[in-house]
Chain A
């Protein structure tokens, strides 16, 4: 029983990270119908920016409230700029080309970031994993029994941050001018442009927003797994994509629910069967969802425009 509860806690913590990354996927897909495969790697860059900021701040400052906010802020701002650059130079020139072209470019950007960050000169970090500083001083918030179930402060904080970001995003998409513009572009970007919506700016804004979210996810991920390395975004990116599809890609709360679900499923599979089954079950789950509800758990079934 105790380990069931501990698995539940672990699974939610993993799902939280997937959720933040999945939000970025889902937004970009919603607007551009483009699967940004470099998204997981943007998350990795965010973790490295957070690491660099924490190193600059030094030991006592990095775990103060201001320090932590500064770390998040720097990483998110840096990644927003990276997202802007990726959109401007890799995707915008190809926007009117067949969709496959952008997909291949996305994979190219992904590899560039993964292997670029393995270089070891100047500001680049090199291939070896780095221990991430403990910026949120780990404290046990809830302990049950004889340390049978332990819930840490950062697990709760991460989950709250993910839910807060989800609600903010939901508000942004449905209640603001920018959100309305996003939805219009998503509906049809040519018509939206004719109606006077600055589509380029809206799309760039969406990328910046998604990349900033990924940076936040990167730091939370680094706090959770205590180390960062250049390939850390690879699997998280794939899993978050699966989560976004399970929830119904393009649907904000769907991405979060799908991610938490996926985190829990993976945790229970590893905990109670064998870890070799984890990825098979995760992707099997995806296939079943796609067979039964092709538009995901929350996705609307849209009639194909002719």
Chain B
């Protein structure tokens, strides 16, 4: 008997909370219509201060609800949770910083800009849902995101079909912008990144036998594997073994044992930081000597890499978008401002998020009106834009043409080694 009454109580509570939420809606939009760029948007939304380290999802920063006429809303999709959480969090911080600065200097066309961030849990299907929601419900002007190419590829057809411009800060797989003329990116693409590492391995490390360990569920990893293999072979090198794992694995010993028996001089691991750190440890543990470095791409970029890899990752190299050691005043100013807001040195994903948001803002300023086609055309004309991750000029396939740096991991820190021009 008491069980039934308990269930009834639960049902009543559920109904009550549902009603409450409904009643809350008008109050919420009324409040946000008057709120400025740094005010909260009512219960449920996180307080959008720049220094806020974690946001609830959906998080909204910059402070506005859709429909309020004095705010221009952008959307961002990122992996705030899930395997690649640090990607999404860094990118969001970069975007927020850029928009806060825009608002401080007068906004766009006399209006404030704000961003609505949805979490995709590092999953492509969630990324697609989030993109749909940003377009249909929130009616955002521009979508920023995603980091992982697989997730961007899930979002791109939706943005393209709706005619909403989408700028990926850091998806490097070439297929992403080929989806259509509304899809842009502010980073270089994988054929170039694969070339950079092949060149580095062959010319700088003087290596002729390399093995590859790829993530077969990731478009990013598959693309890099293809381009690295092609370039390295063209230069006269030999790929002695190609092994694969799948996202979610945490035991790579079988693959590494197979690689070890082929005695490569370097192992190319074009994966994400969360896998690479563990791979490094297991490689060393299985007796692959430290003089065989691991090589990788920009997916390695995260402070988590050092925590997960420990000493095992020391002496390994990866290609990336920017180095915080760059003495350029633009870069150093960005690093100082980011540090003031979030307390850490920005990684390249934060830099790219910052650049993507600024490219979007610049385009909205330049566009005659804020319709999708007008903003799209303005983004497409981006030329010699002074980004913190390099000068951004978009080519006819909507990719940025930029130099890449090679970084070495030395005792849990990144050391700048060389820059390869495009």
Q: Which residues of A contact B (CB under 8 A)?
A: 2-3, 6-7, 10-11, 13-14, 93, 118, 120-121, 126-131, 138, 143, 147-148, 150, 152, 224-227, 229, 231-232, 234-235, 266-268, 270-272, 274-276
**Assuming A118-B81, A271-B258, is B277 touching A131 (CB within 8 A)?**
yes
B58 at the interface (CB under 8 A from A): no
Write the nearest CB–CB distance from A303 to chain B, whole angstroms: 36
B208 at the interface (CB under 8 A from A): no
Q: Are A121's CB and B244's CB within 8 A?
A: no
Q: Across the two chains, which residue of chain B brings its CB closest to A272?
A: B258
**Interface hits, B227-244 → A, CB 8 Å:** 243-244
Mind listing 17 A-B residue pairs with CB under 8 Å?
A6-B260, A14-B251, A120-B54, A127-B81, A127-B83, A225-B250, A225-B251, A225-B278, A226-B278, A227-B274, A231-B83, A268-B254, A271-B254, A271-B257, A272-B258, A276-B216, A276-B246
Q: Which residues of A contact B54 (CB under 8 A)?
A: 120-121, 126
Q: Which residues of B contact A121 (CB under 8 A)?
A: 54
A266 to B260, CA, bound (A): 18
Write the nearest CB–CB distance from B181 to chain A, whole angstroms: 34
B245 at the interface (CB under 8 A from A): yes
A13 to B252, CA, bound (A): 12
B152 at the interface (CB under 8 A from A): no
Write the nearest CB–CB distance from A116 to chain B, whole angstroms: 11
B281 at the interface (CB under 8 A from A): yes
**Assuming A148-B287, A150-B286, is B83 touching A129 (CB within 8 A)?**
yes
Q: Are B308's CB and A275's CB within 8 A?
A: no
**Assuming A7-B257, A10-B254, A226-B308, is B244 touching A274 (CB within 8 A)?**
yes
Q: Which residues of A contact B258 (CB under 8 A)?
A: 3, 270-272
A266 to B277, CA, bound (A): 22
Write the nearest CB–CB distance from A74 to chain B, whole angstroms: 23
Q: Which residues of B contact A (CB under 8 A)?
A: 3, 54, 80-83, 85-86, 121, 216, 243-246, 248-251, 253-255, 257-258, 260-261, 274, 277-278, 281-282, 285-287, 289, 304, 307-308, 310
A118 to B88, CA, bound (A): 14
Q: Which residues of A contact B245 (CB under 8 A)?
A: 275
**Assuming A6-B286, A14-B251, is B277 touching A227 (CB within 8 A)?**
yes
Q: Are A129's CB and B304's CB within 8 A?
A: yes
Q: Which residues of B contact A270 (CB under 8 A)?
A: 254-255, 258
Choose from A6, A120, A126, A152 the contact partner of B257 (Cβ within 8 Å). Answer: A6
Q: Which residues of A contact B121 (CB under 8 A)?
A: 118, 127
Q: Are A235's CB and B248's CB within 8 A?
A: yes
Choose from B251, B286, B307 the contact partner of A224 (Cβ within 8 Å). Answer: B251
Write the nearest CB–CB distance from A95 to chain B, whole angstroms: 13
**Assuming A225-B251, A275-B255, is B82 touching A127 (CB within 8 A)?**
yes
A131 to B280, CA, bound (A): 13
Write the nearest CB–CB distance from A192 to chain B, whole angstroms: 24
Q: Across the two chains, which residue of chain B brings its CB closest to A271?
A: B254
Q: Which residues of B contact A11 (CB under 8 A)?
A: 254
Which one of B80, B244, B285 has the highest number of Cβ atoms from chain A below 10 Å of its Cβ? B285
A21 to B226, CA, bound (A): 38
Write the nearest CB–CB distance from B304 to chain A, whole angstroms: 6
Q: Are A229's CB and B274's CB within 8 A?
A: yes
A70 to B254, CA, bound (A): 32
Q: Which residues of A contact B308 (CB under 8 A)?
A: 129, 131, 226-227
Write the nearest CB–CB distance from A237 to chain B, whole angstroms: 13
Q: Which residues of B contact A3 (CB under 8 A)?
A: 257-258, 260-261
**Assuming A231-B83, A234-B248, is B243 touching A275 (CB within 8 A)?**
yes
19 other contacts beyond A150-B285, A235-B248, with CB at 8 A cut-off? A7-B254, A10-B254, A118-B81, A118-B82, A126-B81, A126-B85, A127-B82, A128-B304, A131-B277, A225-B251, A229-B83, A271-B254, A271-B255, A272-B258, A275-B244, A275-B249, A275-B254, A276-B216, A276-B244
Q: Which residues of B contact A120 (CB under 8 A)?
A: 54, 81
A268 to B254, CA, bound (A): 7
Q: Are B255's CB and A227's CB within 8 A?
A: no
A131 to B85, CA, bound (A): 15
Choose from A13, A93, A126, A232 the contact partner of B250 (Cβ within 8 Å). Answer: A232
